[in-house]
Amino acid sequence: MHKWIAFPHKEGVCSKQAHADFPEEAIYEREAGREGFFGPAAHFHHQHAPTGWSEWEGELRPRAFNFNLVEKAVQVSPWIVPNLLHNADCKIRVWRMDQAMDFLVRNADGDELLFIHQGQADLYCDYGYLEVKEGDYVMIPRSTNWRIEPKEPMFILMVENTGSAYSLPEKGLVGNHAVFDPAVLEVPSINDKFKAQYSEQTTQVQMKRHEQVNVITYPFNPLDAIGWHGDLSVVKLNWRDIRPLMSHRYHLPPSAHTTFVGKGFVVCTFVPRPIESDPGALKVPFYHNNDDYDEVLFYHAGDFFSRDNIEAGMVTFHPAGFTHGPHPKAFQAGREYKKKFTDEVAVMIDTRNALNFAEEAQQVENKEYVYSWKQP
């Protein structure tokens, strides 16, 4: 834990508190914050939009990728698809498949988090049978055997928690049942569908370790458990069961929407909610420097109210160290309070250490995204 140098101070013309009642002569607020909105912060009031650059040179720029176009995402095995964005703590990839797996896979490198962007399937694993569908998160503990039988074509966002385990966020003052009650988490069942797949047929397990795949052959199907007990399992959560924290008078930071915590990163979920109604409250995400984290947003569904020309299946990347925030039209619409409700669904991954880009990601990058904050 840091012993931060703390000296709350006001200088010049500024609002009484963050994200509300801005001075008329400087409507653009910028937050410079540490430790992903949990550390000390300063709130500046600017006469011009902090994203109003006219040119950008260098590689540390905001980026947008269209993951719908990743050709190598179409594979029979998740271990063949490339790591699109990655560091030592976190591997992000997309996987598209429409045929039943006749083998099992196992990730010995870390917990795997699947987000079902499209499709519906039967998932079989060491713990039993689980039906998965669009909008589900499926957390698969490290070294679990599993396979998928699609009922329709699948588009899956995969987030590996390399070398570690996923946990739920601390909920503090709002209590354990806020955002989502752990009672909504579903686990696999050893039911008739699971028992029906018992067999003495030769079965292969593709085990990934240090990004290398080992193939283990059994003269039977290893998914043969007749029961289990304990508090470790595959678990499922659908975004529709998330009930977001809201304030009609204050725009909450992204950290309030944390869903899972990994080693060196967090996974947040933005779901539909009313927009702040207080006349002085900010109505769109505030301009901010997230100076300790890279920010990745995967857009799942709805109208992405702070972005222009972004569609479902696309990803934006905002590196640590620069100011980002709503696009100009979204900022103006927020000032005019044109929308009373946001229907967007998006997955955000904030990583403590810098992310690298695979060639496959660069091939589907929109190189003009850095200029999308220019005034129309």
Among 313, 311, 343, residue whose Cα is nearest residue 156: 313
pLDDT at 305: 63
Map tokens 């909504």 to a residue. 184
Residue of 86, 117, 251, 327 marked active site: 251
Asked if residue 19 belongs to a domain, the reply is no
Asked if residue 7 belongs to a domain, the reply is no
- Domain boundary, last residue among 239, 266, 286: 239
Per-residue b or e along 68-106, where b marks 16 or more CB atoms closer than 10 Å to that residue's CB:
bebebbeeeebbebbbbbbbebbbbbbbbbeeebeebbb
- Domain boundary, last residue among 239, 257, 278: 239
Return the sign of the alpha-carbon dihedral for residues 307, 315, 342, 15.
negative
pLDDT for residue 88 is more than 90: yes
Our measurement of the distance from residue 33's CA atom to the centroid of its chain's CA atoms, rounded to an integer in Å, reads 20
Average pLDDT of span 32-51: 81
Asked if residue 6 belongs to a domain, the reply is no
Question: pLDDT by residue (tens digit) across 249-265?
Answer: 888 888 899 999 999 99
Cα distance between the two ends of the chain = 44
Q: Is 324 annotated as a binding residue?
A: yes
Q: Is 288 annotated as a binding residue?
A: yes
Q: What are the residue ranges of helices labelled H in the chain?
A: 192-195, 328-336, 359-362
**186 and 128, same domain (yes or no):** yes
Largest Cα separation within the chain, whole Å, is: 76
**319 and 171, same domain (yes or no):** no
Domain count, the chain: 2
Our measurement of the distance from residue 330's CA atom to the centroid of its chain's CA atoms, rounded to an integer in Å, reads 22
- Pull the structure tokens for residue 198: 């018992």
**225 and 134, same domain (yes or no):** yes
Predicted TM-score (pTM) of the model is 0.92
Asked if residue 90 belongs to a domain, the reply is yes
**231 and 284, same domain (yes or no):** no
C-alpha–C-alpha distance, residues 95 and 51, integer Å: 33
**138 and 224, same domain (yes or no):** yes
The whole-chain average pLDDT of the chain stands at: 91
For residue 341, the surrounding DSSP H or E stretch is strand 341-342
Range of the domain at 272: 28-65+243-371
Told to judge if 43 belongs to the known catalytic residues of this protein, a careful annotator would answer: no
**231 and 279, same domain (yes or no):** no
- Domain boundary, last residue among 239, 269, 289: 239
What CATH number corresponds to the domain at position 332? 2.60.120.10
Asked if residue 22 belongs to a domain, the reply is no
Question: pLDDT by residue (tens digit) across 214-236?
Answer: 999 999 999 999 999 999 999 99
More confident: 36 or 163: 163
C-alpha–C-alpha distance, residues 165 and 142, integer Å: 7
